[in-house]
């Protein structure tokens, strides 16, 4: 394989995820909540641009992150990213040391927190991340700090009233690659009694429009979690540059319920 072909393959594959994100290309991802590497491996071969592993609300904790990244990487089609539990730099470092191509950091309220997150994703002199050495990340993103940083995406979530208040400053944080909307928590912050509460629908849509506009002005990517592919397509036409489709645990239940309904209806006839 020629050097030119190798470079093109790398740019379009998992290794190019962070750069494609920064260029605000349209990307579609999938969400993994179950600690099930076999299932994750199957989904990782479908062609999603990225696979997000939930280390905050899912049943997967740190010991499962490594297995999930191995499962994603085995197919060499999607980039594996991890939503960490918090803005704790230790958790961010652990996630990136598994070979994750990026981290999603929840509940970030201020530009100061955002800058700390960015620094936790970058090595000296740009940040505070420790150079991991001969662990799994080295096999995927190399051992040269600047090159590693170029292949790692730093994404913070906008999902609180404080984040909305500080949105312009958060988006302007040097080194931040993207903001990501958690619509359930953002709805609650806007007064919804539950996710999907029609009384807060107008406020949510206005907030989403403001977030996409602010991210575009700052030149960073802007993503959102969606309930299904149709919603993801809609959001991508509205100014979001990446969208995540539902989750494995949701689709597992939906598929099982659908087949049960068909089977029991046939028996009842």
Active-site residues: which are they? 57
The residue assigned the tokens 């740009």 is: 126
Of 129, 87, 79, 81, the closest CA to residue 105 belongs to 87
Calculate the dihedral angle through the C-alpha atoms of 187, 189, 194, 200, rounding to the nearest 10 degrees.
Answer: -60
What's the CA gap between 218 and 167, in Å, rounded? 11
Residue 91 Cα distances to 85, 103, 120, 211, 243, angstroms: 7, 10, 9, 26, 24
What's the CA gap between 178 and 212, in Å, rounded? 11
What's the CA gap between 170 and 116, in Å, rounded? 11
What's the CA gap between 232 and 38, in Å, rounded? 25
């Amino acid at each position: 394989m020629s050097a030119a072909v190798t470079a093109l393959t790398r740019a379009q594959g998992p290794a190019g995820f962070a750069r494609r994100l920064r260029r605000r290309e349209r990307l579609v991802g999938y969400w993994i909540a179950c600690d099930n590497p076999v299932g994750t491996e199957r989904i990782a071969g479908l062609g999603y641009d990225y696979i997000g592993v939930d280390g905050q609300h899912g049943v997967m904790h740190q010991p499962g992150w490594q297995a999930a990244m191995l499962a994603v990487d085995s197919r060499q089609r999607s980039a594996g990213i991890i939503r960490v539990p918090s803005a704790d730099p230790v958790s961010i470092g652990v996630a990136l040391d598994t070979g994750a191509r990026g981290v999603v950091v929840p509940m970030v309220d201020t530009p100061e927190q955002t800058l700390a997150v960015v620094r936790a994703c970058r090595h000296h002199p740009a940040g505070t991340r420790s150079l991991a050495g001969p662990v799994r990340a080295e096999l995927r993103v190399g051992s040269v700090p600047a090159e590693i940083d170029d292949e790692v995406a730093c994404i913070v979530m906008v999902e609180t009233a404080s984040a909305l208040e500080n949105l312009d400053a958060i988006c302007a944080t040097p080194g931040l690659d993207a903001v990501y909307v958690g619509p359930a928590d953002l709805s609650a912050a806007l007064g919804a009694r539950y996710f999907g509460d029609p009384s807060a629908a107008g406020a949510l849509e206005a907030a989403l429009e403001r977030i996409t506009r602010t991210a575009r002005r700052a030149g960073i990517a802007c993503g959102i979690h969606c309930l299904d592919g149709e919603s993801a397509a809609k959001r991508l036409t509205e100014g979001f540059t990446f969208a995540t489709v539902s989750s494995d645990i949701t689709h597992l239940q939906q598929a099982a319920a659908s087949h049960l309904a068909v089977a029991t209806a046939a028996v009842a006839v």
